[in-house]
Structure 1
Amino acid sequence: MHRPTTGSDDLQAAWRVFIETAARLQTMLDDDLRATAGMSLADYSVLLILHESDGGRLRMRDLSHRMVFSSSRLSYQVDAMVKRGWLQRERATEDRRGSYASLTDAGRSAFSDAAHDHYRCVDALFFSALDPADGRELRAVMERLATHLDTTHPRTQET
């Protein structure tokens, strides 16, 4: 393993606390969503992304990039949500190669029903532990890391 040459102990400690805390937080959010809304954190994330998208739909490749899912993993996720009536698939008429995932009325309702309790959980686990200055600093660090990843390891384009 390559060890950083500057600030090695601090960077190693930051990495450990980051990876462990991120995994713990995601597990806790997933557990809460399953208990309160009957959906996983991945379900909620798909619904949120589509809820925020123009017309409640997004190309599968774009959704895959946002979710950081492989095409096959996203396909499985979307298929499960189609079975629940939350999403539908639409062929892309503009190029016939791709497809869209789009929210159904039931998906909008499921998202709306879950959002209040999910916000409560995020507030209790994340927002309440930080102040606005922490948020600005954390956002700056995470945006710098995201830019670094985009520059050094760009995402591949899939249909």
Structure 2
Amino acid sequence: MKKINLFVCTLAIAGLGFTSCSDDDSSNTGNTDVEIAGTYDLREVNTQEATDFDEDGTLHINQMEESDCYNNSKVTFNADNTFTADMNGIIVNEDNGTSACAQTTVSGTWEIYAGTGANVVLRVRYEDDNGDNVVANFTKQGGKLTMYELFSEYPDRNAQGGAVYTNGDVEFIYDKR
């Protein structure tokens, strides 16, 4: 259960940051309602090392090419500085080497922490499944939203083909619809 909570928290933190800004904010007007609000879809989950989680013989850094479990992950940022995130991913049971798709939804608030227009840092706040307050920062440069999880865990396979977690950095990228 502890691994499930860690995974859900990791997905929640990661998923939220990428979806905070739009790709059409070329001016530095500071109008956050226009520049940030919208729905953003997860496009990449890039891991430090390439994996072959789907065991097809081809390694990928983008884990969305290794599993459909990440599909339909999205974050919606509202003009009233609230958000809702639907995060999908993989949960691993290292005790028996199995894995399954997992889903969670979180909601909270967002604010521009630094910058204006096309380059901002967003700060999101929400409460995780354990009742802990979570604060995360996400970077928007142009139309790309990025959040890095340093020293995180991501799904992989061991030499016997069992599902395991590998430690390393993970980059999440979302695009506005």
Q: TM-score range by the shorter chain?
A: under 0.3
Whose helix fraction is larger, Structure 1's or Structure 2's?
1
TM-score (norm 1): 0.27
TM-score (norm 2): 0.25
The structure that has the greater radius of gyration is 1
Which structure has more relative contact order (CA 8 Å, sep 6+)? It is: 2
